[in-house]
Structure 1
């Protein structure tokens, strides 16, 4: 669990996920680190940052209590690194819990109730904590979709990719969280699409394609009625299927009118979709997907796409040409 605290509450043993404020105001020069000395604590307390995000699973809380560690770490800690099997197990639990909670939030929205923003935001917190510096394990877990959970697991994976990509670009943590939230709800418009169309294994008819292409606008309307969501979330929901060549949908708007956040979401959305199991296709390898995306530069912002590739683990991108 990630928690925001004030800078004056910093203490030895806290694991810092990010510091709130501009990068230039970061007194330590790192984004994620363990506070191990009084000097580090004093630097933070006397800095110009506006807040701190601490990971309670990896360090102590304000009162010195610890959920993930046996005791307060010494100045030279050497915590046991979790094995790959332990990491996969922990990640699987996070994904399963996130999917269940997101499904519940979508079900309530289907009934006409407003989205539980706090609940969805907590999902983002769990995802952003678990993904750490590498999306590889989380993405591997999300490949294990059942047909009736495709939309929800896809949304969790896109959220994770957006969080990881935004951190790679050194966005400030509050914006990272907003992008993670947008990833979770970007496909909420699919609630209006009949399951038999979403899960169809045969080729879609022209009429069925038209129904599918309505989901960004439908989702945008659902989220707009919420009345209290950031514009970035609405923008990504409506425009994540737009293209740099102006031939996307639902509005067919040109590249000049696509925000960086929409361009990021398009990359994450397509990458996750083509590398995962769907009712109508087999998954592509990461290298195959990224090579295809690079060859379709009229669809994507190529400068951002290369940055996305660099943000991924080497084992995911090996063989990209």
Structure 2
């Protein structure tokens, strides 16, 4: 039996047969699917969909009762405490090694030598292997930053987010690897910013903000001197602080000139920055950060942001509104 319900009546376990409204208003990109999480429910409730048709033979009704032939969702198995501890230790080792190798690569660039592309690519491989199905543990580890390692750990975390997001978007692995590489080097221009400014715990002066805002262009110039770097890497390095309203920097590009990869990197960069410890602020929770980002459609590509939210672990996104 198929019945129509209102948008605010959706709940986890419903099987969606079709959605009313223009196809571009469908945030899922498919017509028939099972709602598996509260994040997906919120995605529908915050969309412009006008009505939903659910199949009671394949999912639950408004009151939570199951249809006659519905297959119950099996309970998630929680890993043992020992398994979680072991994974956390392994992740700590990967993050520490990645930060050290990235710092070495950046220092080579600081001294005028070319970046060791092979070494940075190996870091991406380590991150890709460790992140698995969920970025939760890796991102938890990257929250443990010392002041002098902020840029390097942030870059490792952004790389991990881009890898995870790209896989959620079903990109081919070679492109996933390139995006992970771009995440590692997107802030290389910060090598030119004095540490007294980067680590400042109080508000920046206007002159200091101007210096910080130069880092995408400086980084782009550094990477342009490298041979054989994909254009995607250069694009993300220069434009990861651009906004959908054209008021970003360094070029003030309008939304139509921002590539999909830049839009993805902007989301990952801001999300990681506001949810992690910085010298000048306390971290936001994931739910607070994502809710704030959703309210700033002039900054971010909102349909893409929802896809990013869906890619994250449910524990990270609980409470997003």
Instruction: Judge same fold: TM > 0.5, yes or no.
Output: yes
Equivalents in 2 of 1:202, 1:168: separation in Å? Answer: 38
Write out the 4+ residue segments of structure 1 that deviate beyond 4 Å after TM superposition.
Answer: none
Deviation string 1:168-213 (CA, Å, 9 cap, x unpaired) is 0000000000000000000000000000000001110000000000
Provide the secondary structure at the position in 1 that maps to 2:225.
helix
Which whole-Å CA distance do the structure 1 matches of 2:297 and 2:92 have between them? 34
2:320 matched to 1:320?
yes
The residue aligned with 1:207 is 207
Partner Cα distance (1:303, 1:319) in 2: 18
Q: Residue deviations 1:74-104, cap 9 Å, x none?
A: xxxxxx9870000000000000000000000
Partner of 1:230: 230
Please name the residue that 1:297 is paired with: 297
Question: Structure 2: 5+ residue runs without aligned partners?
Answer: 1-78
Q: For 2:183 and 2:119, how far apart are their aligned partners in 1?
A: 14
- The match for 1:191 is 191
Match of 2:177 in 1: 177
Query: Residue deviations 1:42-67, cap 9 Å, x none?
Result: xxxxxxxxxxxxxxxxxxxxxxxxxx
- The within-5 A match list for 1:1-321 is 83-321=83-321
- Cα-to-partner distance string for 1:131-180 (whole Å, 9 max, x where unaligned): 00100000000000000000000000000000000000000000000000
Q: Distance in 2 between matches of 1:282 and 1:202?
A: 12
Counterparts of 1:303 and 1:173, CA distance in 2: 23
Whichever of the two has the greater Rg, that structure is 2
Structure 2: distance between partners of 1:256 and 1:154: 28
Aligned partners of 1:125, 1:200: CA distance in 2, in Å? 33
Match of 1:243, SS state, is coil
How far, CA to CA, are the matches of 2:169 and 2:261 in structure 1?
12
Q: Deviations over 1:19-40 (max 9, x none)?
A: xxxxxxxxxxxxxxxxxxxxxx
CA distance in 1, matches of 2:228, 2:221: 13
Structure number with the bigger relative contact order (C-alpha 8 A, sep ≥ 6) is 2
Q: Please report the RMSD computed on the Cα atoms of aligned residues, expressed in angstroms.
A: 1.0
In structure 1, C-alpha distance between the alignment counterparts of 2:263 and 2:289, rounded to whole Å: 17
Deviation at 1:228, TM superposition (A): 1.6
- Give the Å deviation of 1:318: 0.2
- The aligned residue for residue 30 of structure 2 is none
Mapped to 2, the partners of 1:313 and 1:98 lie a distance apart of 23
Displacement of 1:283 after TM fit? 0.2
The number of equivalent residue pairs is 242
CA deviation after TM superposition for structure 1 residue 227, in Å: 2.6
1:20 counterpart residue number? none
Instruction: For residues 206-249 of structure 1, give each alpha carbon's deviation from its aligned partner in whole angstroms, at most 9, with x where no partner exists.
Output: 00000000000000000001132000000000000000000000
Q: Distance in 2 between matches of 1:173 and 1:203?
A: 41
Residue 295 of structure 1 deviates from its aligned partner by 0.4
